[in-house]
Structure formats: C-alpha cells, structure tokens
C-alpha cells in the first residue's frame, strides 16, 4: 500500500512527538530493587575442591529442552567445547557459547609470608545483577530481569544480534554464537527452565561440598555474613546444594577475606562470593565499583528516542522541500 506525502508527514511527526514525550517522561530512570523472592547462588571458594561437577551438570542441564545451550539438531548431547577426539577431554579455558559455568584456579604467593603459597578455585558465570547493564542496553528487550526470581533471561526471538549486552556487561559474561548462521547470545540463566519445573540450578545440585549453594538471595546474604563472623579453626555445619533443604556438612572454618563480593559491586548481584584469597587475585576486575552501571549511560540513552524523533521530523521536512523544488523545476521546464 502506497503512502502519500500528507500521511507520511503525519506519521513521522506523530512518531517524533511520541518518542520525544516518552524520553521526557522516562528521563529519570527508575532504580531497580532486589525482589524479596529473588534467587541466587553463594559460592564459597574455600569449600571448592575443583571437581568441576558443576561444569558438567551445567552443560548437561542446559542441553535439555528449554536450556540455554539447547538446539534441536543436538538435543540430548552435551555441547563439547572442542570437536572430534578432543571432546574426550573437554577443558575450556574461558566462558564461551558452549560453556556457561567455568572453574578456574589461582596459584600464587602470599604477601604475609615469603614462600607461603596461596591457592584458590573460583567459579565464573553470570552474576545476575540486581540492576543489570545488559538489560538496560538491550534495545529490543531480548534480555529481561524476571520480576519474581530476578533471573536475567534471554529471548532469542527478540534478539537481532546487536551485541550491546556484551559491551555493557562489566563482568564480560554474554557470549555469542559466531559460527552459526542464526546465532544467539548465550549466558547462564540460572537454570530458569528447571526452576519453572520446581528444580534449581544444576551447578548447585551437583556440588558435593556446598561450595555452590542455591537459595533466596536474602537467605544467602545472611549465610555469607554469618560465615564471616565465624572463628577460624572452629567447625561449622555448612549447608549443601540448597540452603532450604537442610543437608549439611561439617567443615573446619577457614580464614576468610572480610568481604562478600557481589553484595554491593555493580549495585549488587544475585551471585555472591566468599574466598580466602583477595578477590583481585581471582580474576575480578578491581575497577568495578558499587556504581549501578545503567546509571552511567542513562543520561545519554534517554535522549536517543528524542533524537530519533527529531531526525524523523527533520527528514520529512527536508523531503517535502525537495519534492516541491522538483515539482517547481518540472513545471518550469513544461512551461518552456
């Protein structure tokens, strides 16, 4: 259906007005708060033995229908990082479109005593920020923060591959399926598909020591603070797998770094960490502060709709002027 000049002008001007109005209304960005029902993970590096059961179970669970790594053509198969014979020893060195959960090890020397070795495992995956930068940067709402659980989920059907989420995330989490003809952004979705069926995250379910503990964020925060108040050398009944299931294991209390990472970083996250080694030695970017990252860009992002509206109106006016000049020239040529 053809659109005439008047209809096009009405549409463009109207769109510009609506967009500009929306920009003014939403100029003050609403700060997101942690939902009382938000779920997450507390990872205690002092309990981790590096068995990598979490990695294996993560790949297996997410290769199932509804999982972040699910593809019809490979349904039921674990998405190995490497092809061919190398899949017998699947040892990824970083997160990727096939690896959503990763265990790494830190080896170093303590600053307290020369020659004394420090060692710690660390588990990497999406931190599910309380106010996520990836969600704020996504122009089509392919990434959403679920109102109840607070899980940051991804909808491939909405995504058009701009990858702004990759740029926005301060933790460098979202990955991309570069080799596929119809690629997706891939990240941990905290086993959202399993939670919908009454389960919980596969990594916590597989952890034999309680290093990865699932539960409500508020409960996990209290558990983390409780551990920091324990006396090193005492024994403590550490919850295992899920904080509400009652299963525990007696362990000797280590000397913790007096900090719960994720309690305030980037405005707070739903995946929190305890460790016996300084966090900047475990791969955490020391430049990440308690700043809510979407606030840093909102002043600019909020003006985008207004700018688009202005450009639409300006483009329409320019086109009308051009058409009139062309018509006038044609009339002059016909008169000659």
Tell me if the pTM is above 0.75: yes
pLDDT of residue 29: 65
Q: Which residue has the tokens 């919980």?
A: 200
pLDDT of residue 9: 44
pLDDT of residue 334: 66
Residue 232: exposed, middle, or buried by beta-carbon count in 10 A (0-12, 13-18, 19+)? exposed
As a whole-number percent, the residues of the chain with pLDDT over 90 amount to 65
Phi first, then psi: give them for residue 224, nearest 5 degrees: -65, -45
Average pLDDT over residues 298-305: 53
- Residue 98 pLDDT > 70: yes
Structure confidence at residue 87 as a pLDDT band (50, 70, 90): confident
Question: pLDDT by residue (tens digit) across 1-20?
Answer: 444 444 444 444 444 444 44
Query: In terms of pLDDT, which residue wins out, 95 or 332?
Result: 95
- Residue 83 pLDDT > 90: no
Q: Between 5-25 and 304-335, two packed helices, what is the crossing angle to 10 degrees?
A: 160
- Residue 101 pLDDT > 80: yes
Query: In terms of pLDDT, which residue wins out, 260 or 108?
Result: 260
Contacts of 283 by beta carbon, 8 Å cutoff, 6+ apart: 104, 106, 122, 124
Query: Would you state the structure tokens that stand for residue 130, as one six-digit string?
Result: 């309380």
Question: pLDDT by residue (tens digit) across 202-259?
Answer: 999 999 999 999 999 999 999 999 999 999 999 999 999 999 998 999 999 999 999 9
Reduced DSSP (H G I as helix, E B as strand, rest coil) percent helix, strand, coil of the chain, to 5: 35, 15, 50
Question: pLDDT by residue (tens digit) across 114-152?
Answer: 556 789 999 999 999 999 999 999 999 999 999 999 999
Structure confidence at residue 84 as a pLDDT band (50, 70, 90): confident
CATH code matching the domain that covers 39-299, chosen among 3.40.30.10, 3.30.70.20, 3.40.50.1110, 3.65.10.10: 3.30.70.20
Query: In terms of pLDDT, which residue wins out, 171 or 306?
Result: 171
Contact 257, 273 (CB under 8 A): no
The rounded distance, in Å, linking the Cα atoms of 162 and 213 is 34
pLDDT of residue 301: 53
Distance (Å) of CA 45 to CA 96, 261, 323: 22, 11, 69
Closest CA to 214 of 53, 45, 43, 40: 40
Helices then strands (H, E): number in the chain? 9, 11
As a whole-number percent, the residues of the chain with pLDDT over 70 amount to 82
DSSP 171: T
DSSP 221: H
Structure confidence at residue 110 as a pLDDT band (50, 70, 90): low
Bridge-based pairing of strands 248-252 and 235-239 is antiparallel
Residue 147: exposed, middle, or buried by beta-carbon count in 10 A (0-12, 13-18, 19+)? exposed
The rounded distance, in Å, linking the Cα atoms of 32 and 226 is 26
Phi first, then psi: give them for residue 31, nearest 5 degrees: -75, 135
End-to-end CA distance of the chain: 35
Strand partners, 272: 42
pLDDT of residue 310: 66
pLDDT of residue 25: 41
Instruction: Enumerate the domain spans of the chain.
Output: 39-299
Contact 262, 123 (CB under 8 A): no
pLDDT of residue 199: 97
Of 63-72, 88-97, 172-181, minimum mean pLDDT range: 88-97
Sheet harboring 212-216: ordered strands across? 212-216, 39-44, 271-274
Distance (Å) of CA 235 to CA 50, 153, 181, 232: 22, 38, 54, 8
């Amino acid at each position: 259906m053809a659109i005439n000049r008047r209809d096009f002008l009405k549409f463009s001007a109207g769109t510009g007005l609506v967009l500009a109005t929306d920009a003014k209304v939403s100029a003050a960005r609403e700060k997101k708060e942690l939902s009382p029902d938000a779920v997450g993970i507390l990872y205690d590096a002092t309990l981790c033995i590096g068995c990598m059961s979490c990695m294996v179970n993560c790949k297996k669970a997410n290769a199932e229908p509804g999982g972040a790594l699910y593809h019809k053509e490979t349904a039921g198969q674990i998405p190995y990082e490497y092809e061919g014979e190398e899949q017998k020893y699947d040892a990824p060195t970083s997160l990727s479109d096939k690896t959503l959960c990763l265990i790494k090890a830190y080896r170093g020397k303590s600053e307290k005593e020369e020659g004394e070795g420090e060692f710690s495992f660390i588990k990497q995956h999406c931190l599910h920020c309380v106010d996520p930068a990836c969600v704020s940067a996504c122009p089509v709402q392919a990434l959403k923060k679920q109102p109840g659980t607070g899980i940051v989920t991804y909808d491939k059907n909405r995504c058009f591959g701009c990858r702004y989420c990759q740029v926005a995330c301060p933790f460098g989490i979202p990955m991309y399926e570069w080799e596929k003809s119809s690629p997706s952004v891939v990240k941990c979705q905290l086993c959202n598909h399993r939670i919908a069926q009454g389960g919980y995250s596969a990594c916590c379910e597989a952890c034999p020591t309680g290093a990865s503990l699932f539960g409500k964020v508020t409960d996990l925060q209290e558990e983390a603070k409780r551990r920091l108040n324990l006396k090193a050398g005492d024994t403590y009944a550490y919850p295992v797998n899920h904080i509400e299931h009652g299963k525990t294991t007696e362990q000797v209390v280590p000397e913790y770094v007096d900090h719960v990472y994720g309690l305030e970083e980037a405005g707070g996250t739903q995946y929190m960490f305890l460790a016996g080694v300084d966090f900047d030695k475990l791969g955490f970017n020391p430049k990440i502060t308690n700043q809510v990252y979407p606030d840093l860009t909102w002043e600019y992002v909020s003006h985008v709709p207004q700018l688009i509206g202005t450009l639409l109106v300006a483009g329409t006016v320019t086109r009308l002027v051009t058409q009139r000049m062309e018509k006038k020239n044609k009339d002059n040529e016909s008169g000659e």
